[in-house]
Every structure is written in structure tokens, then in C-alpha cells.
Amino acid sequence: MSVIWMIVLAFIANPPWEKPKLIEGRDLYREHCAVCHDIELDKTHSRKLGPSLNHLFKNEKLPLSHGKPSRQYVMVRVKFGGALMPAFAKKLNDAQINTLIDYIESR
């Protein structure tokens, strides 16, 4: 295959006008979550109102509920909020929330 065709196929697979999913997730995190949640610092070093999301899916327990971390639980919490956490169901659609969770899971 010629180099030109390889470039064309790469362009079609990853159009430059579409953000890669993890960058989109990072941007959503920064816009909606970073005010209350750290993702770089663990819970003992975080000084933010909400629990740290650092290594959230690698931990045995969630910071406040102490249940096993799952995408479904995080999806519900983001959509409908919690005791102090606001609901984001009117601000973010399911695809955006999944992209956000992908980013959190990658950290």
C-alpha cells in the first residue's frame, strides 16, 4: 500500500476535528469535577470538598460508600448526585458521562 493511502486511512480513522476520547474526558473532568475532586492526589493529600478520584477503579472500596467501584455506580452518582454532590443529568448526556468515566478509569 502506498504511503498516501496509509495517510488517508489514518485521517479517516482519526479525523483531526474529533477530540480523542481521553482528551474529551479530561476536558469534561476539568470543567465539571476538578472544583471538588482531585485526580492526581490520593485521599490523604487532597484538600478538596469531594473525595479524591485518584486510582478510583483500582481501589478496593469507594471513598464514601465503601462499596466496590463500578462504572454503573459512578454513572448513577454523576447523573443523580449525592449528599453534597450535584446532579449532572441535565448538563451531561450518557455519552459524555461514559467518556468522563473512561478518563477517570484511565487515571
Residue 44: CATH number of its domain: 2.60.40.420
> Residue 3: inside a domain, yes or no?
no
Residue type, 43: K
Model pLDDT, residue 17? 52
> Residue 14: inside a domain, yes or no?
no
In terms of Cβ atoms closer than 10 Å to its own Cβ (0-12, 13-18, 19+), residue 48 is: middle
Instruction: For Cα atoms 84, 23, 16, give the angle at the middle one, nearest 5 degrees.
Output: 145
> Residue 5: inside a domain, yes or no?
no
- Between residues 83 and 35, the one the model is more confident about: 35
Share of the chain above pLDDT 70, in %: 82
Model pLDDT, residue 78? 97
Owning domain of residue 69? 19-106
State how far the Cα of 31 lies from the Cα of 91, in Å rounded to an integer: 11
The tally of CA atoms less than 13 A away on the side-chain side of residue 91 is: 13
Model pLDDT, residue 47? 85
Full-prediction pTM beyond 0.85?
no
> Residue 12: inside a domain, yes or no?
no
Cα distances (Å, whole numbers) of residue 75 to 4, 15, 82, 101: 42, 28, 12, 8
In terms of Cβ atoms closer than 10 Å to its own Cβ (0-12, 13-18, 19+), residue 76 is: middle
pLDDT tens digits along 73-95: 999 999 999 888 999 999 999 99
Residue type, 94: D
Model pLDDT, residue 62? 81
Most confident of 48-52, 54-58, 98-102: 98-102
Domain count, the chain: 1
> Residue 9: inside a domain, yes or no?
no
